[in-house]
Structure 1
């Protein structure tokens, strides 16, 4: 008797499954199905839209700032300095651009040893600045020394240009 009841229950479940399959997915019906289709159409229109997304606009603004700051030095600086440092400290290390203070402090006039010690401290987390740590985390000691030597020589380069 138990086997007969189990077999009938199994047949009923299979019939219900086939019926559901024939009418479409279970979540397809009614108003909910229309909402989902509307959302899919909205996403497709949004993806095909030519309007730039907000993050693209911000990325372009940052790139423009880096280009502007990176090309206004009165003396030559390395491309590594331009790409990693100039957007916050200015191309000449003054910490100012067009008379406006930038995010980073003035570097020009500091000794190479002090700059090197600060860079090592930022990388190690002894000085807390997430931007600096993020920029320095993949750099090795010789690269930090190279940055420090270049920045430490900014005052001499500026004096030679005058």
Structure 2
């Protein structure tokens, strides 16, 4: 009798296993499968929404930074190069004074410094002998000729300002 019951239960269990195999696994079909797919869709949608919000915030920040750079570059009483406006003016001021609208900026005053000193400082920042990550990052891809041009332009600010006051 025990052997007969064991055989009957074994046949039933094998039959249920075969039925499950033919129908599919428990959580890949039917109502449970739909719930899991819906959860994946909700997760993907919310992640995409967060990514879009971060991208919008990044675009706004870049726009503010560009506005600041443009504002700093256009506030000068004399003409400066676009390279100076783009790389230097936001920290050192449009005229190298280190000031913007009466407020001290992040960078020191460059106005009135000699060309040789300016060039040496630029080379030192680029080479890492003077530590300033912002300066190194701005100068790292520039050639020696570019550094000379910056030094020459900035040293000429004093003459440009004196010419305007005459």
TM-score range with shorter-chain normalisation?
0.7 to 0.9
Q: Among 33, 37, 40, which residue is 2:41 paired with?
A: 37
- What residue number does 2:89 align with? 86
- What residue number does 1:6 align with? none
- What residue number does 2:67 align with? 64
- What residue number does 1:159 align with? 162
- What residue number does 1:9 align with? none
Secondary structure of 2:84 counterpart = helix
| Mean CA deviation greater in 30-39 or 128-137 | 30-39
1:87-113 residue CA offsets vs partner (Å, 9 max, x unmatched): 111110001000011111100010001
- What residue number does 1:76 align with? 79
Gaps of 5+ in 2: 1-16
Normalised by the size of structure 2, how large is the TM-score?
0.75
- What residue number does 2:111 align with? 108
Once the two structures are TM-superposed, the CA of residue 37 in structure 1 deviates from its matched residue by: 2.0
Gaps of 5+ in 1: 1-11
- What residue number does 1:124 align with? 127
Larger Rg: 2
1:43-92 residue CA offsets vs partner (Å, 9 max, x unmatched): 4555677x972222211111111111110111111111111111111110
Once the two structures are TM-superposed, the CA of residue 32 in structure 1 deviates from its matched residue by: 5.3
1:1-33 residue CA offsets vs partner (Å, 9 max, x unmatched): xxxxxxxxxxx9xx96x945x936xxx848655
Normalised by the size of structure 1, how large is the TM-score?
0.77
What are the equivalent positions in structure 2 for 1:42-53 lying under 5 Å apart? Answer: 42-45=46-49, 53=56
Q: Matches of 2:91 and 2:40 in 1, distance apart?
A: 46
Greater percentage in helix: 2
| Count of aligned positions | 144
- What residue number does 1:23 align with? 28
